[in-house]
Amino acid sequence: MPSRPTRPAPARLTRPAELSELLGIPFTAEQLRCATAPLAPQVIVAGAGSGKTTVMAARVVWLVGTGQVAPEGVLGLTFTNKAAGELAERVRRALAETGVLDAAAGGNGGEGEDAPGEPAISTYHAFAGRLLKDHGLRLGVEPTARLLADATRFQLAAAVLRSAPGPFHALTKSVSSLVTEVLSLDSELSEHLVEPDRLRAHDQALLAELEGGGVRLTNEALRQVPRTARARLELLDLVQEYRTRKARRELLDFGDQIAVAARLARDVPEVRRQLRSEYQVVLLDEYQDTSVAQRVLLAGLFGHGGHPVTAVGDPCQAIYGWRGASVANLDDFPRHFRRDAAQADDGLAERHSLSENRRSGGRLLALANTLAAPLRERHEGVAALRPAPGAETDGRVRCALLPTHAEELEWLADSLAHLVRTGTAPGDIAVLCRTATDFPRIQSALTARDVPVEVVGLSGLLHLPEVADLVAMCEVLQDPTANAALVRLLSGPRWRIGPRDLAMLGRRARLLVPPPGGAEQDPARRLAAAVEGTDPTEVVSLADALDTFLESGGHQDDLPFSAAARVRFAHFAAELRDLRRSLADPLMDVLHRVLTVTGLEVELAASPQALAARRRETLGRFLDVAAGFASLDGETTLQAFLAFLRAAEQYDRGLDGSLPGGDNTVKVLTAHKSKGLEWDVVAVPGLVRGQFPSTRGQTSWLAGAGVLPHPLRGDAATLPELTGWTARDRKQYDTALADHQATEELRLGYVALTRPRSLLLASGHWWGPEQKKPRGPSDFLTAVRDHVEADPANGEVEHWAEPPAEGEQNPALAEPATEQTWPLPLDPAALERRRAAADAVLHRLRRHRPTARPEPGAEDNSARAGLPHQRERSPEPEAGPARQLTPEERRLVASWDRDLASLTQELRQARRKERDVPLPQSLTASQLMRLQADPERFAADLVRPMPHPPQPAAARRGTRFHAWIESRHEALPLPLLGPDELPGGNDSETGALPAEIADERDLAALKEAFSRTPYASRVPHRVEAPFQLMLAGRVIRGRIDAVYRDGDGFEIVDWKTGRRRTADPLQLAVYRLAWAEQHGLPLTAVRAAFVHVRTGEVIRPTDLPDRAGLERLLLTGSPEEPVTPPDRLGA
């Protein structure tokens, strides 16, 4: 990050009123005061919908337009790539529209050496990454250090766990859970700048105090503390090994970036001097969400001498404390960023407020203000929101309290369906939930009413049944002790094992590993014990009990399993055993094999129902997440992927791709994900006691080994303090923690209730789907009702159920269990057609295979009669001894038949001089170009694949130059790309020479060349964007190097680092079509260009073929010929 001289622009603006005239925005007095404030530190407490981004852009225009700073002397930081792009575009457009840049250029048209630069706007992580690349060597961090993607962190941590020598006496959780805890503790150490030795000393001192005899631990909660401390010490050894492996491989994760950058800012004065000289003005967005380490970084660089830093944030929307954010940073900003003596006597930075909300109607704001009253008392400078002039009476609220959870969701779905039918666009509606638990029911209810719906975020996908069953199957395959997942599958609609058989399965599992002393237990308790725990050293395995049904003699326990259960157990056990053989295969192969074996993919594809279509989309989105899961050293493990999913579900982590899409659908998402978004209509269901606000506290450092002790945190002063080790002290501490959690929930509720522009739907229920005690309205729903009843114009209470009578039973539990059909219900006619087809297939198999040996999957019909969703059939007479084979033996014989058939087919093909080569169902973009360039050679490569000569230069190009470009803009996951996906890596296949990045000087030359391209100062909308496109019955997969916003559309960019300027426009045509269809855009809204980095030349091919042209080219070799789809190539 070399320093460059910046020259202030000539003055163009002289009065604040001119700012409104030039931008055409009717600024409020408080907005103008913030935008035109003097060059001094200031913090702006910006309420929801108050136009903070507009104010930040206006401040840049004012400072540049008044000649106080040059455009390139402005640094703007925010959290997400999306937010950075929006702020950069807003600032760029404002500077251009007002002509400020022309004035800054001195009238030379913005060309030559005197041309003005642009403000540097990026994310906090990207800024830290650039800081490390330029100055990291001062602390021993190599400039070549690579960013470790979030998903890849789980793989490295899993590798540490797998190779750890142990023994670990205090760590009793499953490996996947320990992976999450290792990463959690490592992140907290980095976020609070705590060295491992300091944590070790703290826990050792804590153990000495608690076990030295001077403290009596009188209850279980207190006795848990030393156990947790010992577990944290063992976990710390794993964290240190994890850090050692990162350092050995020159890897950094996001936490490392911020921590090392903070040390640079704190300990190296030269870095501070250089950055302060380079950036005369700094803008910090969403400052309430910064961590302690980020505050140390920013205050260390810009917090002295009255440097003009403007921080913008809202303490009422500080909802990310659970992932390291500290709202105290915003409250304490005036002390961390002090003014000099010439600016103020007290030295404290000035505090401003933005309180006019231009999003919501006044009646909705009155409700939000009532809810946030306790928050305004806690934080200085927070003003109540007020509506824009003319909107004082806008906004309505409709609320309901229904008797049951099912009735609440019916009310919600009916209300939204009515709005859609009466003219509200589905894309203007959102459903915000506290957790993702209700997502499947909400999706089903809306789909049943023909309302298009989209579930947003990975954590939401994991709760949908088709994804949940796939993940449960993977958990059972990976971990034989995953009893909870196995019970989910056995009791689900596919296998439908009843409680009695499940209890006996648990009893058999316990009998396989007799408890100490041979103590007997009730079968139901045994099953519960097996499901509850996950410690492989203490918990029996239901999967082991399942395997006993594959043995010819079975297990001699005489347990009275039902006949149907025995058959289903045997089938499922054989299925699991067969799938476990492929666990070493690539992750995507494992997932597709599970889908094939379970039949879920086929069932969903064959069903015409709207719900099935939505579930197919859901499954496809989940597989896209799995495909983008970055690999480490070429190996993507199922274990690491499952740990990643567990963290996503627990912490609601999401990638930029998990933000709401642009489709015209009702968005269903968590309240956390809704921050910064807005809709005309927002529904907030589940406002019941214990759920929203949630009373489920976060894991305490006294009980969780992966949690940093509060006394060591950088924001310890804002957290509850444990004053002693008596039972009373612990109870007071737990109460204080609960109050702290209640405040966090209040902030989350405030965020949810400030998202709607015109209508809020709020609802709750008395009886949950599985609860034995009634829930009732939460404080949030009660506040909504009070608001509505205070003035009839505020809205209406549509329904308010009376409390259940004393001793009343939950009607949901009293209802008989409904028969479930897997995976979707079929109408009688469709079900009969399927049964007739199955009978026809079995009849044909028996007629053409008269021997006693059955076909694969065509076991004896007496067994098939016990399978779920099969019609009862009369058992057929035994045909011979082969009927006595076990299911596993029959599968073995069937595998021999398949092998013989395959060998015979290969022999026949080998004797042919010419053959038809089936075109693969899935092609990469590079394979498509090879097919178009030379079909015969491509067919020959398919028949006999030959290894390509190694291309070390191309590999370096992919892993170094491309990573360098990405690190300029955003700390994004860097997936391990295949040879065909490397940037420019296809050059050898299309006739170009390799890039030959032979040494550091050549790489530096490429970087310098890139800085001269028009894209060097632009922030991409997406980088390394994966896509999957269906063309002429074939799936085309690939990755787009970069996507930029281009006015009202997008521009696709493909970097070319080769020395020869050859590129196939077909590549851009495929990319353009994929991006347009993925985001529902017309092709005219997407441009495409090759950027030859070495020369700076930008080539935008014209007349790129559309979908029809690409399909004709794929099928016939020419975009002009008629489509006659061949499925085979001649070779």
For residues 1058-1067, average pLDDT: 78
Q: Which H or E run contains 121?
A: strand 120-123
Same domain, 612 and 567: yes
876-909 burial code (b ≥16 CB/10 A, e <16): eeeeeeebebbbbebbeebeeeeeeeeeeeeeee
Same domain, 180 and 161: yes
Q: Which amino acid is at 900?
A: L
Q: Residue 996 pLDDT more than 50?
A: no
The pLDDT assigned to 667 comes to 92
State the pLDDT confidence band at 176, using cuts at 50, 70 and 90. Answer: confident
Same domain, 783 and 851: no
Does 1092 fall in a domain? yes
Tell whether residue 48 is among the known ligand binding residues.
yes
Q: Which residues contact 781 (CB under 8 A, 6 or more apart)?
A: 399, 401, 687, 688, 762, 763, 764
CATH code for the domain in which residue 1088 is found: 3.90.320
What's the order of all strands across the beta sheet hosting 756-767?
Answer: 453-455, 666-670, 429-433, 679-684, 756-767, 396-404, 795-800
How far is the first Cα of the chain from the last one, in angstroms, to the nearest whole number? 55
Q: Residue 539 pLDDT more than 80?
A: no
Tokens 């889908």 -> residue? 595
Q: Residue 16, preceding bond cis, omega within 30 degrees?
A: no
Show the tokens assigned to 1058.
């080769």
DSSP 784-808: HHHHHHH-GGGEEEEEEPPPPPTTP
CATH code for the domain in which residue 558 is found: 1.10.486.10
For residues 355-367, average pLDDT: 91
pLDDT digits (tens, 9 = 90+) for 923-957: 777 777 777 777 777 766 665 555 444 444 444 44
pTM (whole model) above 0.85: no
Same domain, 685 and 778: yes
Q: What is the residue-averaged pLDDT of the chain? A: 78
Residue 716 per-residue DSSP state: G
Tell whether residue 506 is among the known ligand binding residues.
no
Tell whether residue 47 is among the known ligand binding residues.
yes
Show the tokens assigned to 765.
């229920």
More confident residue, 81 or 655: 81
Show the tokens assigned to 300.
């260390």
**Portion of the chain with pLDDT greater than 90, in percent:** 21
Report the relative pairing of strands 916-918 and 1128-1130 from DSSP bridges: antiparallel
Indicate the range of 109-118, 150-159, 595-604, 783-792 predicted with least confidence. Answer: 109-118
Please say which residue of 910, 930, 954 terminates a domain.
910
Task: Determine the Cα–Cα distance for residues 343 and 656; give it in Å rounded to an integer.
Answer: 41
Please say which residue of 879, 910, 941 terminates a domain.
910
Task: Determine the Cα–Cα distance for residues 324 and 779; give it in Å rounded to an integer.
Answer: 27
Tell whether residue 51 is among the known ligand binding residues.
yes
The pLDDT assigned to 201 comes to 94
What would the 3-class secondary structure string for 5-16 be? CCCCCCCCCCCH
Same domain, 175 and 314: no
pLDDT digits (tens, 9 = 90+) for 233-273: 999 999 999 999 988 888 888 888 899 999 999 888 898 88
Q: Where are the beta strands (DSSP E) in 173-278?
A: 251-252
Q: State how many domains the chain has.
A: 6
Residue 85 burial (10 A CB sphere; 0-12, 13-18, 19+): buried
The pLDDT assigned to 941 comes to 66
Indicate the range of 106-120, 358-372, 423-437, 704-718 predicted with least confidence. Answer: 106-120
The pLDDT assigned to 1122 comes to 44
Strand partners, 404: 767
Q: Residue 1100 pLDDT more than 80?
A: yes
Q: For residue 192, give its domain range.
A: 151-249
For residues 669-690, average pLDDT: 91
SS3 label, residue 229: helix
Task: Determine the Cα–Cα distance for residues 314 and 295; give it in Å rounded to an integer.
Answer: 16
Task: Determine the Cα–Cα distance for residues 583 and 639; give it in Å rounded to an integer.
Answer: 10
Distances (CA, A) of 1099 to 390, 1018, 1109: 51, 18, 21
Task: Name the residue among 958, 948, 943 with its Cα closest to residue 989.
Answer: 948
- CA dihedral for 263, 264, 270, 271, sign (positive or negative): negative
The pLDDT assigned to 532 comes to 46
Does 361 fall in a domain? no
| Cβ atoms of 78 and 285 closer than 8 Å | yes
Show the tokens assigned to 434.
């506290």
pLDDT digits (tens, 9 = 90+) for 462-521: 777 778 888 888 888 887 778 888 888 888 777 888 888 888 888 888 877 755 444 444
**765, HSE (Cβ side, Cα atoms, 13 Å):** 23
Q: What are phi and psi of 208, to 5 degrees?
A: -60, -40
Same domain, 234 and 292: no
Report the relative pairing of strands 916-918 and 356-357 from DSSP bridges: unpaired
CATH code for the domain in which residue 693 is found: 3.40.50.300
Same domain, 514 and 579: yes
Same domain, 523 and 603: yes
For residues 889-916, average pLDDT: 73
**179, HSE (Cβ side, Cα atoms, 13 Å):** 29
| Highest mean pLDDT (candidates 635-639, 710-714, 983-987) | 710-714
The pLDDT assigned to 888 comes to 62
924-938 burial code (b ≥16 CB/10 A, e <16): bbbbbbbbbeebeeb
Task: Determine the Cα–Cα distance for residues 835 and 842; give it in Å rounded to an integer.
Answer: 11
Same domain, 935 and 987: yes
Does 549 fall in a domain? yes
Same domain, 1094 and 993: yes
Does 1025 fall in a domain? yes
Does 17 fall in a domain? no
Does 916 fall in a domain? no
pLDDT digits (tens, 9 = 90+) for 738-753: 898 899 999 999 999 9
Tell whether residue 53 is among the known ligand binding residues.
yes
Show the tokens assigned to 354.
């933005």
Count, residues in the chain: 1131
The pLDDT assigned to 283 comes to 92
Q: Residue 112 pLDDT more than 80?
A: no
Same domain, 1033 and 1118: yes
Please say which residue of 910, 935, 958 terminates a domain.
910
Distances (CA, A) of 1097 to 112, 602, 1004, 1056: 18, 48, 18, 10
Does 16 fall in a domain? no
- CA dihedral for 533, 537, 538, 543, sign (positive or negative): positive
Tokens 């001699």 -> residue? 556
Q: Which amino acid is at 439?
A: F
Residue 325 per-residue DSSP state: B
Does 21 fall in a domain? no
Task: Determine the Cα–Cα distance for residues 334 and 272; give it in Å rounded to an integer.
Answer: 19
Same domain, 504 and 608: yes
Residue 213 per-residue DSSP state: S
